[in-house]
Chains A and B, each alone.
Chain A
Amino acid sequence: MEVRTILLSKSVFEDNDRAADELRAALRRKGTVLVNVMSSPGAGKTTLLVALIRRLAKSRRIGVMEADIDSDVDAVTVAKETGCPCVQLHTGGMCHLDAGMTGQGLRELGDGFDLIFLENVGNLVCPAEYDTGATFSMVILSVPEGTDKPLKYPLVFQKCDLVVISKTDALPYFDFDLEECRRNVGERNGGACVIPVSAKTGENMDALENWFIKKLTEV
């Protein structure tokens, strides 16, 4: 018996990054856009998605993948409220989705979609580190969470294309400075688009819908 050292010098995320790139390329060939939706628990991901999907589903074929540690309440809600095909992914205790799990969900969902929303596990830390293979990423930040989230959880805001500030109907009740929040996002990610909306009242949902329509024609 002897002890030897095997050099690996390999990023822990390397295998996942490769799988994610393959998934992204396969989606592009099919003409499907996959959006990774990330937020804290309770930021209103499901409510916002339902409101957005109802608008987009009039002209586009929409699919949804709901990722949670357990339960299928979100998938049941989205399927019932939008009528769109929806699959539930269980992460088996893990705090994030990776490219492998996303690929499984896509196979289950099948082909023929223009746009697929992937509702990631509610968490601002781990989902940011694992590339799911999504075409682009959006973060939902709700008014009650405060303006400092982009400073506290920089990575998820650095890696996203769109920041939706949700629950703007609650602005009168919170010390939430919209411009300060824009600055905090801009400091982390100058390229991210910021759209404040209320899914409850419908305020500014047109702007969000238009952003998606524009994005779908670009890719």
Chain B
Amino acid sequence: MHELGIVMNVLEQADAAAAEYNAEKVMKVTMEVGEVSSIVPDLFIDAFNWAKKKTDYLKDAELEMIIIEGRTYCKSCGGTYRTTEHGKKCPYCGSVDTYLLTGDQVIIKDIEALFKEATGGGPDPSE
């Protein structure tokens, strides 16, 4: 189960951030996931909803995934194209001397959390 390992990392990091900022609980996690990152969004969300029950702060959290389009750059002709349509081979000149510009990222963008106090919100300076 490929997605589960990554979900565990996301939950650990979000749980740690919630503790650091003294949040009551996390309502939502927003991620940016590239379409060629090898993550299947439906499986990822299922794994998230199963594994979140074991966290301290994310038991009721929902997950939003922003999908980032895969774009590849061709070193031979300078063109860019959609990776999922053409893969490694440039559709303009046929070269395979290409590299991925964007679309393989797996990023935790932000978390929306509930706070008891209306002030503060940063890490406790006394720690």
Q: Are A15 and B13 in contact (CB under 8 A)?
A: yes
> Does A8 make an interface contact (CB < 8 A)?
yes
Q: A3-B112, A7-B110 are in contact. Are A96 and B5 (CB under 8 A)?
A: yes
Q: Are B88 and A12 in contact (CB under 8 A)?
A: no
Q: A6-B23, A95-B5 are in contact. Are A125 and B114 (CB under 8 A)?
A: no
Question: Which residue of chain B has the shortest Cβ distance to A8 in the bound complex?
Answer: B108
> Does B107 make an interface contact (CB < 8 A)?
yes
Q: Mark B1-34, 1 if CB is under 8 A from A, else 0.
A: 1101110111001100110010110010001000
Cross-interface CB contact of B114 among A1, A7, A16, cutoff 8 Å: A1
Number of interface residues of A (CB under 8 A): 28
Question: Which residue of chain A has the shortest Cβ distance to B105 in the bound complex?
Answer: A11
The residues in B between 80 and 127 inclusive whose CB is less than 8 angstroms from any CB of A are 88, 96, 105-116, 118, 121
Q: How far is the CA of A4 from the CA of B121 in the complex (A)?
A: 8
> Does B55 make an interface contact (CB < 8 A)?
no
Q: How far is the CA of A1 from the CA of B25 in the complex (A)?
A: 11
Q: How far is the CA of A12 from the CA of B47 in the complex (A)?
A: 15
> Could you say which interface size class chain B belongs to?
20 to 34
CB distance from B8 to the nearest CB of A (A): 8
> Does B76 make an interface contact (CB < 8 A)?
no
Cross-interface CB contact of A12 among B2, B106, B110, cutoff 8 Å: B106
Q: How far is the CA of A95 from the CA of B8 in the complex (A)?
A: 12
> Does A207 make an interface contact (CB < 8 A)?
no
**Which residues from A are CB-within-8-Å of B10?**
12
From B23, B27, B38, name the one whose CB has the most chain A CB atoms within 10 angstroms: B38
Q: Are B110 and A129 in contact (CB under 8 A)?
A: no
Q: Are B109 and A8 in contact (CB under 8 A)?
A: yes
Q: Are B38 and A155 in contact (CB under 8 A)?
A: yes
CB distance from A122 to the nearest CB of B (A): 13
CB distance from B40 to the nearest CB of A (A): 11
**Which residues from A are CB-within-8-Å of B4?**
93-95
Q: Are B5 and A9 in contact (CB under 8 A)?
A: no
Query: Which B residues fall within an 8 A CB radius of A?
Result: 1-2, 4-6, 8-10, 13-14, 17-18, 21, 23-24, 27, 31, 38, 88, 96, 105-116, 118, 121
Q: A2-B118, A3-B114, A5-B112 are in contact. List 17 more A-B contacts (CB 8 A).
A: A3-B115, A5-B110, A6-B21, A6-B110, A8-B13, A8-B108, A9-B109, A10-B13, A12-B9, A12-B10, A12-B13, A12-B31, A13-B9, A95-B2, A98-B5, A126-B2, A187-B88
Query: Which A residues fall within an 8 A CB radius of B?
Result: 1-13, 15-16, 93-96, 98, 125-126, 129-130, 154-155, 187-188
Contacts A/B (CB < 8 Å), 28 sampled: A2-B114, A3-B27, A3-B112, A3-B114, A4-B112, A4-B115, A5-B111, A5-B113, A6-B111, A6-B112, A6-B113, A6-B121, A8-B14, A8-B17, A8-B109, A10-B108, A12-B9, A12-B106, A12-B107, A15-B9, A15-B13, A93-B1, A94-B5, A95-B1, A96-B5, A126-B2, A130-B5, A155-B38
